[in-house]
Amino acid sequence: NYGEDDDVDTQGKYWQTLTINMSTSSGLIPIRLINALPSYPNEELGITDEHRVLQTSELLDLVDYHSVLVGDFHMRDDELEDEISLQKRSLTNHIPADADTFLGENNHSDSIDKIITTKISPIRISNVSVIKYNRDEPTGHWPIAFDLEV
């Protein structure tokens, strides 16, 4: 958690990861799952858009042949800056652009969540679904389910 005494540049420096071994015909292959939420710019906390881009870049640098990055990047894929462009990094977001993973104010919806692998990854993501239901809070992210195979 971010507090008054924390340096804003270190906020988000430690990412949640889980490594599991998946059994394949070639033997066990370690797969790293990365759960990520780069900072959302907040003037009151001194978090700038530059921090978001730096943190997102750091996260994308973690994605390799045997990893899956799952998270909220606060922007659609086509809005990401050049230094964090998925296309320029040869990365794929497996959530369709029209999936509407987030519902904002005035019923504005967007697909800003990600399930990212490299384009040449042996990891296959399928059956991606956004789980929408009646909820008390009208705005926010919808849960996302998917299957993962190697």
Sign of CA dihedral 141, 44, 36, 117: positive
Q: pLDDT for 7-48, tens place per residue?
A: 555 555 678 999 999 888 889 999 999 998 888 888 888 888
Residue 147 pLDDT = 97
Rounded to 5 degrees, φ, ψ at 80 are -65, 140
pTM strictly above 0.85:
yes
Residue 45 pLDDT = 81
Instruction: Give the residue among 34, 57, 10 at the shortest CA–CA distance from 148.
Output: 34
Positions in the chain short of pLDDT 50: 1-5
Residue 47 pLDDT = 81
- C-beta neighbour count of 64 within 10 angstroms: 11
